[in-house]
């Protein structure tokens, strides 16, 4: 075992964890600011300059609140729910290539924790386990609204996972690899996959909204119908975990979208500047984060623009709209590659 | 490695037993999920990453969600479960025992198969699985995918009928 | 039928065109509207730093005025209490003792004068009714509190301080039209 690699990976893991939590924390702040700005308000601006300490204040508030476990709830599962939601949300960041390689002292350090050759599928696996956090928590609360939320979450996740998977199949046809690292490397220059798979991107984006339970697909937790849905009975930091997991999911899915469709850490025209490789790598990572923040902003923008779907509309869109569209997309991509490979 | 193997096996066996013995059906489902995850761990130990992840996506992520979904909707509690008669119980034990014997016999057969196909480290990787599926087993693979597509189209048609 | 606004739309159940059915143009249109607001002017006024200007005739917390020599003008006639539509004002009159001439202008004064701020509707009828120019409504805001009791304001809060520098300025509300209105009322009374 190479100890330097092990130590590097451990440190890098903690950095990623820290950055993920930090971004998720400030996404809550960003969300409130964006919402406020779009509604002609100012948003949080009292805690610190421009309200920048608001997430800290919210965190303290969450910790200080009284911890309530309902008497009729299934206690073990009630605690298990938010834990699963948080864990799976954090686990996804492992396979995302945050940057190219750094060269320090003649050694190469990859800015990716694990380059699995099935990277995309790993993301899918984590997303599909993530639904258990919501389902178990909603069921264990022993509350009809929470149960409704849980059931809605389950059926929504399953329905949209299909279309998401199929939009990815078309993407894989163009890339020929499941490894996120290779997919990013193929998109060097301006060969971003969004130009080759615009329809697939739209389907993937819609499904990503649905998978992260964001508006207009936030039916599992809609306040007006289900008084909070699956986290109706939750309080204190358990509620905080659920809310936080949602923001982490948003961050990670933004990162996945940026990786798959927007060239990841690739920056156009960077090679012509004649910078040292390490600078290029760091710039690429910064650019990657810029893309991620752009995607997060898009998530928020959509949320504060569109009203929530009705449940039958949601199911119609998923099963009768997106899935046939995704199959059509696979078909077109397949036919295209079939004929171009022949000649 | 061997320690991991024994740990995963222990988790699998214990959770599998708990699936059978726990009274609450929701708990059973959750133990089954744990069992499946441990099985995915076994796949990873065999360097079959593709199989592991697909196993998680398909079984843990989709099928068990549907199980849990149905069980949550059914709202099973003790009053609903009917008391089985003695004949049913005895016949159930016999059937189960026979099935166990079949499994045991099948497991014994695997030693021969092991000898015929030596273990390759890359057997479970996505490229290997793809090559095998699309060369050796092309026809059955395509047949089953046509079956799946027709099932899906059928499901969508059922949905469209009401609308 | 006469339309109430220019922006009303007639609802119809017609079949949607393809562009309408894929929703994307509509979504983009909505997103354009929200992003325009994103960079637009904010409606919020950041209160403690930035105060919104009151209307010139804003009616807030009452004040019981003193005259130039620092004597209370109120003579406890009770006209304000009679005029009050919310019955928020109560008072107990007392006779001025010799040696208190520097405190009260008239021979009779209000020993207790209370306004229940939870009942008060800030109509300003008390101010109109007052023949001695003793009670006025000012542009001060009635402070919030946790209990009901503190909302019954006594003379300790209502009467302005003796110190000429700390007198409550009421001139802002006494616009020409207000004064003219009061004058007219006085004449009407004389008729």
Question: What is the CB-side half-sphere exposure of residue A205 using CA atoms within 13 A?
Answer: 16
Q: Do A37 and C44 touch (CB under 8 A)?
A: no
Distance (Å) from the alpha carbon of A135 to chain C's nearest alpha carbon: 31
Tens digit of pLDDT per residue, chain A (343 long)?
A: 577 778 888 888 888 888 888 888 888 888 888 888 888 888 888 887 888 888 888 888 888 888 888 888 788 888 888 888 888 888 888 888 887 777 776 677 777 777 777 788 888 888 888 888 888 888 888 888 888 888 888 888 888 888 888 888 888 888 877 888 888 888 777 778 787 788 888 888 888 888 888 878 887 777 777 777 788 888 888 888 888 888 888 888 888 888 888 877 877 776 676 677 777 778 888 888 888 899 899 988 888 888 888 888 888 888 888 888 888 888 888 888 888 875 5
User: Using a CB-CB distance cutoff of 8 angstroms, which residues of chain A are in contact with residue C35?
Assistant: 38, 301
Predicted confidence at residue B78, as pLDDT, reads: 57
Same domain, B45 and B68: yes
A155 to chain B, any CB pair closer than 8 A? The answer is: yes
Chain A residues in contact with B26 by the CB 8 A cut-off are 74, 77, 139
CB nearest C42 (choices: A34, A42, A304):
A42
What is the rounded CA–CA span in Å between residue A296 and residue C60? Answer: 47
pLDDT at residue number B101: 92
Which residue in the set B57, B66, B155 is minimally distant from A125, CB to CB? B57
Q: Is the dihedral of CA C136, C140, C146, C150 positive or negative?
A: negative
CB contact under 8 A, C43 and A40: yes
Do B31 and B71 belong to one domain? yes
Chain A / chain B CB contacts < 8 angstroms: 78
**Shortest alpha-carbon distance between residue A43 and chain C (Å):** 9
Give the nearest partner residue to C27 out of A34, A37, A306, using CB atoms: A306
Neighbouring CB atoms inside 10 A of B99's CB total 10
- The per-residue pLDDT for range C29-45, each reduced to its tens digit, is 888 888 888 888 888 88
C27 touches chain A (CB under 8 A): yes
Q: Which residue of A has its CA nearest to C35?
A: A38
Provide the residue ranges of all domains of chain A, joining segments of one domain with +. Answer: 69-342
- Residue B1 is part of which domain span? 1-79
Decide if A77 and B61 are in contact by the 8 Å CB cutoff. no
φ, ψ (nearest 5 deg) of residue C90: -130, 155
Q: Which long-range contacts (CB under 8 A, 24 or more apart) does C155-158 make?
A: C155/C64, C155/C110, C155/C112, C155/C113, C158/C62, C158/C63, C158/C64, C158/C113, C158/C115
pTM higher than 0.80, yes or no? no
Indicate the number of domains in chain B.
Answer: 3
Neighbours of C131 (CB within 10 A): 11
Select from A40, A45, A202 the Cβ nearest to the Cβ of C37.
Answer: A40
Residues B44 and B26 occupy one common structural domain: yes
CB A309 within 8 A of CB A317: yes
Range 20-79 of A in CB contact (< 8 A) with C: 34, 37-42, 45
Is A237 in the B-facing interface, judged by CB distances under 8 Å?
no
3-class secondary structure, A135: helix
Domain C62-190, what architecture? 2-Layer Sandwich (3.30)
**Residues of chain B found within 8 Å of residue A125, distances taken between Cβ atoms:** 53, 56-57, 60-61
ipTM: 0.78
Q: How confident is the model at residue B95 (pLDDT cuts 50, 70, 90)?
A: very high
* Contacting partners of chain C (3+ CB pairs under 8 A): A
Out of C30, C40, C46, whose CB is closest to A40? C40
Q: Which of A155, A161, A319 sits opposite B69 (nearest CB)?
A: A155
Question: Residues in chain C, how many?
Answer: 191
Rounded Cα–Cα distance for residues A215 and A223 (Å) = 12
The answer to whether B152 contacts A323, with C-beta atoms less than 8 Å apart, is yes
Q: Does A2 touch chain C (CB under 8 A)?
A: no
Residue of chain C whose Cα is closest to the Cα of A317: C22
| Cα-based distances in Å from B80 to A73, C3, C83 | 20, 61, 73
Query: What chains are in contact with B, requiring at least 3 Cβ pairs below 8 Å?
Result: A
Chain A partners within 8 Å of C42 (Cβ) = 37, 40-42
């Amino acid at each position: 075992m190479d100890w330097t690699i092990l130590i590097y990976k451990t440190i890098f893991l903690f950095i990623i964890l820290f950055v993920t939590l930090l971004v998720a924390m400030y996404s809550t702040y960003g969300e409130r600011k964006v919402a406020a700005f779009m509604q002609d308000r100012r948003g949080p601006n009292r805690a610190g300059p421009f309200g920048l300490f608001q997430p800290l204040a919210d965190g303290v508030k969450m910790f200080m609140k009284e911890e309530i476990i309902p008497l009729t709830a299934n206690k073990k599962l009630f605690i298990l729910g938010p834990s699963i939601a948080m864990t799976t949300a954090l686990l996804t960041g492992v396979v995302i290539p945050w940057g190219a390689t750094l060269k320090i002292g003649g050694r190469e350090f990859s800015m990716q924790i694990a380059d699995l050759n099935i990277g995309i599928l790993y993301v899918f696996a984590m997303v599909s386990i993530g639904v258990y956090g919501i389902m178990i928590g909603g069921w264990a609360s022993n509350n009809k609204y929470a149960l409704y939320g849980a059931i809605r979450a389950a059926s929504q996740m399953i329905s949209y996972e299909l279309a998401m998977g199929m939009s990815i199949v078309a993407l894989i046809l163009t890339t020929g690899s499941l490894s996120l690292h290779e997919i990013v490397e193929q998109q060097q220059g301006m060969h971003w996959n969004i130009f080759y798979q615009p329809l697939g991107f739209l389907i993937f984006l819609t499904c990503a909204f649905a998978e992260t339970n964001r508006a207009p697909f936030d039916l599992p937790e809609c306040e007006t119908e289900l008084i909070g849905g699956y986290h109706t009975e939750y309080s204190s930091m358990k509620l905080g975990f659920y809310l936080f997991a949602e923001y982490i999911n948003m961050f990670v899915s933004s990162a996945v979208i940026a990786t798959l469709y927007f060239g990841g850490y690739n920056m156009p025209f960077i090679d012509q500047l004649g910078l040292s490789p390490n600078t290029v790598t760091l710039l690429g990572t910064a650019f990657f984060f810029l893309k991620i923040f752009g995607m997060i902003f898009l998530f928020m923008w959509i949320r504060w623009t569109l009203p929530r779907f009705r449940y039958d509309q949601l199911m119609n869109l998923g099963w009768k709209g997106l899935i046939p569209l995704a199959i059509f997309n696979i078909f077109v991509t397949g036919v295209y590659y079939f004929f171009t490979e022949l000649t | 490695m061997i320690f991991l193997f024994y740990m995963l096996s222990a988790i699998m066996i214990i959770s599998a037993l708990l699936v059978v013995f726990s009274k609450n059906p929701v708990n059973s489902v959750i133990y089954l999920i744990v069992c499946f995850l441990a099985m995915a761990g076994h796949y990873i130990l065999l360097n079959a990453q593709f199989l592991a992840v697909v196993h998680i996506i398909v079984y843990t992520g989709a099928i068990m969600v549907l199980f849990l979904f149905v069980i949550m909707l059914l709202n099973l509690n003790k009053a609903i479960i009917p008391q089985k008669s003695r004949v049913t119980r005895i016949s159930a034990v016999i059937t189960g025992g026979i099935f166990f014997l079949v499994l045991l016999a099948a497991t014994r057969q695997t030693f021969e198969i092991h000898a015929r196909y030596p273990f390759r480290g890359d057997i479970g990787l996505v490229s290997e699985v793809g090559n095998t599926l699309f060369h050796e087993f092309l026809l059955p693979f395509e047949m089953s995918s046509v079956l799946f597509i027709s099932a899906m189209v059928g499901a969508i048609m059922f949905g469209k009928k009401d609308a | 039928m006469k339309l109430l606004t220019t922006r009303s739309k007639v609802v119809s159940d017609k079949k949607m065109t393809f562009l309408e059915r894929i929703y994307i143009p509509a979504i983009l249109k909505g997103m354009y509207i929200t992003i325009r607001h994103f960079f637009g002017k904010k409606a919020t006024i950041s209160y403690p730093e930035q105060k919104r200007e009151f209307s010139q005739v804003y009616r807030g917390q009452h004040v019981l005025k003193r005259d130039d020599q620092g004597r209370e003008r109120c003579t406890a006639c009770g006209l304000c209490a009679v005029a009050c539509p919310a019955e928020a004002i109560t008072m107990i009159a007392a006779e001025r003792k010799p040696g208190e001439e520097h405190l009260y202008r008239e021979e009779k004064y209000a020993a207790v004068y209370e306004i229940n701020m939870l009942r008060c509707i800030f109509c300003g009828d008390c101010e109109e009714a007052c023949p001695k120019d003793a009670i006025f409504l000012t542009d001060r805001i009635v402070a919030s509190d946790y209990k009901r009791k503190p909302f019954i304001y006594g003379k300790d809060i209502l009467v302005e301080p003796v110190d000429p520098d700390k007198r409550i300025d009421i001139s802002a509300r006494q616009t020409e039209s207000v004064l003219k209105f009061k004058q007219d009322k006085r004449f009407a009374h004389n008729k």
